[in-house]
Structure 1
Amino acid sequence: MSLLHLSFYSAFTLSALGLAFHRTHLISALLCLESMMLALYLALSTWPVATQTPSSTLTPMLMLAFSACEAGTGLAMLVASTRTHGSDHLHNLNLLQC
């Protein structure tokens, strides 16, 4: 395993651990999700170079588009929950409450 692959795996793993352990605020969960998407995007972008394929794929661009949509949706949810509940704590987003 090269140093480049190790750095992508460690960035993704650290982001997943951040998502697992810092689950109090919605903004921290969204930032961890975005860093996971960034690690995947970087890994997919450098994959054709590492495998020495002459043609590039559209997968990184598609993933970047999905990541932008996810960020926009997450920020809209953050604004909506802050306006309705007064904070961005994840324990306020329980669907069983009225």
Structure 2
Amino acid sequence: MTPVHFTFRSALFLGPMALVFHRTQFLSALLCLGGMKLVQFIAIALWGLPIQSSCWCADLMLMTAFSACDASTGLPLLLATPRTQGTDCLPNLNLLQC
């Protein structure tokens, strides 16, 4: 296993582990998800370099579009949660209540 493969595999493993262990704040959960998405984006970009084909560019564009949609929904949720619930601590939020 090359160091690049080890780095990406460990980063993809540490992202969900950080999400599990540090899920007290809504912002830290969003940062963990964003880090996992960034590692996937870089991995797809580096995966297409040795192939020298243009078909992997569609995957990058699709992932960029999903990242923009995620950011456009995550930021308003991050701002609206403390206003409506009074806190952004995830254990204190009741997700079943409207």
Q: TM-score, structure 2 length as denominator?
A: 0.87
- 8 Å Cα contact 1:48-1:55 kept in structure 2: yes
**How many equivalent pairs are there?**
96
Q: Distance in 2 between matches of 1:43 and 1:12?
A: 10
- The AA in structure 1 aligned to 2:53 is S
Q: Which residue pairs with 1:63 in the alignment?
A: 63
- The AA in structure 2 aligned to 1:54 is Q
**Deviation, structure 1 residue 60:** 1.6
Q: Which runs of 5+ in 1 are unaligned?
A: none
- The AA in structure 2 aligned to 1:95 is L
* Aligned positions of 1:8-27 closer than 5 A: 8-27=8-27
CA RMSD between the two structures: 1.4
Q: Which digits, 9 at most, give the CA deviation of each residue in 1:63-88, with x for residues without a partner?
A: 12211211221111111111111221
- 8 Å Cα contact 1:44-1:60 kept in structure 2: yes
- 8 Å Cα contact 1:8-1:39 kept in structure 2: yes
Among 51, 54, 59, the residue aligned to 2:52: 54
List structure 1 runs of 4+ shifted beyond 4 angstroms: none
* Aligned positions of 1:36-47 closer than 5 A: 36-47=36-47
- 8 Å Cα contact 1:30-1:71 kept in structure 2: no
- 8 Å Cα contact 1:26-1:89 kept in structure 2: yes
**SS in structure 2 opposite 1:24?**
coil
